[in-house]
Amino acid sequence: MEDKRPVGARQARDLVRVAFGPSLVALVVIAAVTLLQLVIANSDMTGTLGAIASMWLAVHQVPISIAGHQLAVLPLLPVLLMVWGTARTTARATSPRASWFVARWIIASAIGGPLLFAAIALAVIHDASSVITELQTPNALRAFSSVLVVHAIGAVIGVGSQIGWRTLQALRLPLWLGDTVRAATAGLLALLGLSGAVTAVSLVVHWGTMHELYAVTDSLFGQLSLTLLSALYVPNVIVGTSAMAVGSSAHIGFATFSSFTVFGGDIPALPILAAVPTPPLGPVWVALLIVGAASGVAVGQQCASRPLPWPAALAKLAVASLLAAIAMALLGYAGGGQLGNFGEVGVDQSTFGPAVFLWFFVIGALTVLLTGGVRRRPKRVKPVVPVEEPLFDEDVEDDDEALTTPIPDVAAESDVEPVPEPEPEPEEEPEPAPPPKPVRPAPDLEDVEDLMVVDDDIETERDR
């Protein structure tokens, strides 16, 4: 059904949806889950609003402090869903022919609405902390910056998917920059997907350990809570596996895991963490490096889909590898942090991003060369400038001897027998000319005088 409302009304509706849609949906889901848990646990509703506001901020990777313990290792799945929701909403509100003014308003709405929600959440938590002393108000600067970054990333992805090519043309940038986003996305999906498959296989291998972690609670509600919490932390574990696959390392407190060595330590009682390797490390985990190589091949294939001259092809691959390394570094930073008494949890940021870049660039460059992604430049043909030649050679014109000197007979001087000239064909006899017409003889002068009449004769004739 066609919308017959004015254009201004439709744009206002889209801006309101972009500003408050994703945040409001997240708030409703969080409220439902929180109230369900409180009802199942037979708890009173004291501080319910503070708990809902804290969880909304936790979705945006804002650390939570409860009873003096900081929980900074937050699940990545909710924040990824938030980025996806913001990108989808902004993409639907942006027309491919939208002006820059409208695009800026869409991005501003996608950021401004969540910042308003963050201010309200901080006020609610501050008010609830006066009743619940264990609940502490988060750092306002960290809260606003985290919300800003999450929704800005989603807004840029959504608007860029609609007007990205037009922006490159307007800024006079090379169009192959648009292909770098596709290549980086392919590499990220390959790396995370293969790492997820390795994580699943490791869970099957360590099934006994996972069963022991479930045994920490006997209630059905507790086991369901552990299952839900493990599902939320699956992306965190996959990012740690990706760090191992590219040669970096992941750590949970003092426990460190890499493709070459493992140092044991205490880990939280979370069933998904049963996938971590246990010492002594066998040679199977070294095969994780194949995951990094396969991801580099995926990047190279995407870059080779449109062949370019070798400087542009290498620049295209370098930009795609850099985008993928930045994205993985952001995921590693968002998925780590302080976890109470266990200490710091996350990946080695000093080696994770550079390792992703090197794997994608080196393996990708070999793939581009082998799959014909480098195109030779056409040879430049110099234009031929016509030279004006004189009609007569001045030297020959001035030299009279050159004009009078006979040309020697080369055939007579050489030993080669001259080639006989062909006999001329007999000429056809011309047809006889037609006989001339007879010419009438001219009259005699005497006869002419007889024919002449004079004036005297005319007068005599009149007298008669």
For the chain, domain boundaries? 7-169, 174-377
Query: Which range is least confidently modeled, 154-158, 291-295, 414-418?
Result: 414-418
| pLDDT of 234 above 90 | yes
| pLDDT of 354 above 80 | yes
> For position 67, what pLDDT does the model report?
66
Beta strands 337-339 and 343-347, pairing class: antiparallel
| pLDDT of 288 above 60 | yes
- DSSP assignments along 371-440, one per residue: TT-B-PPPPPPPPPPPP---SS-HHHHH-HHHHHSPPP-HHHHSSSPPPPPPPPPPPPPPPPPPPPPPPP
Mean pLDDT, residues 137-144 taken together: 90
End-to-end CA distance of the chain: 125
- The pLDDT confidence band at residue 425, using thresholds 50, 70 and 90, is low
> For position 414, what pLDDT does the model report?
44
- The pLDDT confidence band at residue 434, using thresholds 50, 70 and 90, is low
With 0-12 / 13-18 / 19 or more C-beta atoms within 10 angstroms meaning exposed / middle / buried, residue 137 is middle
Q: Which residue in 138, 62, 57 sits closest to 334, CA to CA?
A: 62
| pLDDT of 210 above 90 | no
Query: Which range is least confidently modeled, 12-26, 204-218, 291-305, 350-364?
Result: 204-218
**374 phi/psi in degrees, rounded to 5:** -110, 125
Distance, in Å, from the CA atom of 247 to the CA atom of 355, rounded to the nearest integer, reads 7
- The rounded mean pLDDT for the chain is 80
Query: Which range is least confidently modeled, 11-25, 29-43, 442-456?
Result: 442-456
- The pLDDT confidence band at residue 37, using thresholds 50, 70 and 90, is confident
Query: Which range is least confidently modeled, 28-32, 71-75, 411-415?
Result: 411-415
Mean pLDDT, residues 254-266 taken together: 84
> For position 357, what pLDDT does the model report?
95
Between the alpha carbon of residue 237 and those of residues 40, 93, 205, 317, 341, the distances in Å are: 29, 34, 16, 28, 20
pTM for the structure as a whole: 0.77
- DSSP assignments along 258-300, one per residue: ESS-EE-----S-GGGGGS--SSPPGGGGGGHHHHHHHHHHHH
Between the alpha carbon of residue 72 and those of residues 182, 199, 337, the distances in Å are: 32, 23, 5
| pLDDT of 16 above 70 | yes
| pLDDT of 320 above 60 | yes
Mean pLDDT, residues 342-359 taken together: 90
Provide the token pair at 403.
């004009």
Provide the token pair at 125.
């938590």
Distance, in Å, from the CA atom of 133 to the CA atom of 66, rounded to the nearest integer, reads 9
| Cis check: omega of the bond before 280, within 30 degrees of 0 | yes
Between 56 and 445, the more confident residue is: 56
Distance, in Å, from the CA atom of 192 to the CA atom of 377, rounded to the nearest integer, reads 37
Cβ(250)–Cβ(244) under 8 Å? Answer: yes
> For position 82, what pLDDT does the model report?
94
| pLDDT of 80 above 90 | yes
Provide the token pair at 21.
């849609």
- The pLDDT confidence band at residue 150, using thresholds 50, 70 and 90, is very high
Cβ(354)–Cβ(360) under 8 Å? Answer: no
Give long-range contacts, CB 8 A cutoff, 24+ apart: 59-64: 59/26, 59/30, 60/114, 60/118, 60/143, 60/146, 60/147, 60/150, 61/146, 61/150, 61/334, 62/138, 62/142, 62/143, 62/146, 62/147, 63/138, 63/139, 63/142, 63/337, 63/338, 64/138
Question: How many residues are given for the chain?
Answer: 464
> For position 390, what pLDDT does the model report?
53
| pLDDT of 364 above 90 | yes
The tokens 């999450």 sit on which residue? 150
Beta strands 262-263 and 255-258, pairing class: antiparallel
Provide the token pair at 81.
């869903």
Q: Which residue in 371, 389, 378, 240 sits closest to 300, CA to CA?
A: 371
> For position 154, what pLDDT does the model report?
94
> Which residues have a Cβ under 8 Å from the Cβ of 402 and sit 6 or more positions away?
396
